[in-house]
Amino acid sequence: MKNKYMFGGAIIVVFLAVMIYLFTQTNVQYESSFAKVMQTGKTVKATGSWVKERNYEIDKVNNVFSFYMKDAEGNMMKVIYQGTIPNNFESSTSVVVTGKYQNGNFHASDILTKCPSKYQDQSTQKANS
Domain spans, the chain: 29-116
- Mean model confidence pLDDT for the chain: 82
User: Looking at domain 29-116, does it have CATH number 2.40.50.140?
Assistant: yes
In this prediction, residue 25 has a pLDDT band, given cuts at 50, 70 and 90, of: low
Q: Are strands 44-50 and 94-102 parallel, antiparallel or unpaired?
A: antiparallel
Residue 67 — φ and ψ, nearest 5°?
A: -160, 170
Q: Do residues 75 and 35 touch, judged by C-beta distance below 8 A?
A: yes
In this prediction, residue 52 has a pLDDT band, given cuts at 50, 70 and 90, of: confident
Q: What is the structure's pLDDT at 73?
A: 87
In this prediction, residue 69 has a pLDDT band, given cuts at 50, 70 and 90, of: very high
Cα 16 from Cα 100, distance rounded (Å): 28
Residue from 13, 2, 96, 9 nearest 47 by CA: 96
> In the chain, pLDDT over 70 holds for what percent of residues?
83
Cα 124 from Cα 102, distance rounded (Å): 42
Instruction: Tell whether the model's pLDDT for residue 68 goes beyond 60.
Output: yes
Interval 76-122: pLDDT, tens: 999 999 988 888 888 888 889 998 888 889 999 999 888 765 555 55
This prediction has a pTM of 0.68
Instruction: Mention every residue, 6+ apart, whose C-beta is less than 8 A from residue 79.
Output: 66, 67, 68, 69, 97, 99, 105, 106, 108, 111
More confident residue, 25 or 48: 48
Instruction: Mention every residue, 6+ apart, whose C-beta is less than 8 A from residue 59.
Output: 65, 66
Cα 110 from Cα 97, distance rounded (Å): 6
Instruction: Mention every residue, 6+ apart, whose C-beta is less than 8 A from residue 72.
Output: 32, 33, 48
More confident residue, 46 or 116: 46
